[in-house]
Amino acid sequence: ETGVTQSPTHLIKTRGQQVTLRCSSQSGHNTVSWYQQALGQGPQFIFQYYREEENGRGNFPPRFSGLQFPNYSSELNVNALELDDSALYLCASSLWRSGRGTEAFFGQGTRLTVV
């Protein structure tokens, strides 16, 4: 158990719809990142939030957006879903302190299927 929880665990959406995925960070962690993992591939970095602001983004279009709340929980929103958005979405939290980050702790992921 990493202390990082994600909801829901599984989700089926229709192409064109919007989806919101949620993540509760490990207690004491102030940084959260989201990753997309397609079948048979390694996780791909989407973006990172630190103190409620985005401070890093991977090669993903603007229809992927996020939020980090004061309690350090987070949401990933995806608009205008496409079939290729079907993947395991992973949330990871870490502690950024004194100019250095600790290792990332991942949740179990949300399996999104777009039909």
Partner 1 sequence: LAKTTQPISMDSYEGQEVNITCSHNNIATNDYITWYQQFPSQGPRFIIQGYKTKVTNEVASLFIPADRKSSTLSLPRVSLSDTAVYYCLVGDPVTGGGNKLTFGTGTQLKVEL
CB of 4 to partner 1, least distance (A): 7
Q: How far is CA 68 from CA 33, 62, 64, 65, 76, in A?
A: 10, 17, 14, 11, 9
DSSP 25: P
The nearer residue to partner 1, 65 or 106, going by C-beta atoms, is 106
Q: How many CB atoms lie within 10 A of CB 85?
A: 19
Which positions lie near partner 1, rule CB under 8 A?
2, 4, 31-33, 35, 40-45, 48, 50, 55-56, 88, 90-96, 99-109, 111
The nearer residue to partner 1, 41 or 77, going by C-beta atoms, is 41
Please report, as a single letter, which amino acid is at residue 43: P
Q: Are 81 and 89 in contact (CB under 8 A)?
A: no
CB of 68 to partner 1, least distance (A): 12
The nearer residue to partner 1, 66 or 109, going by C-beta atoms, is 109
CB of 15 to partner 1, least distance (A): 23
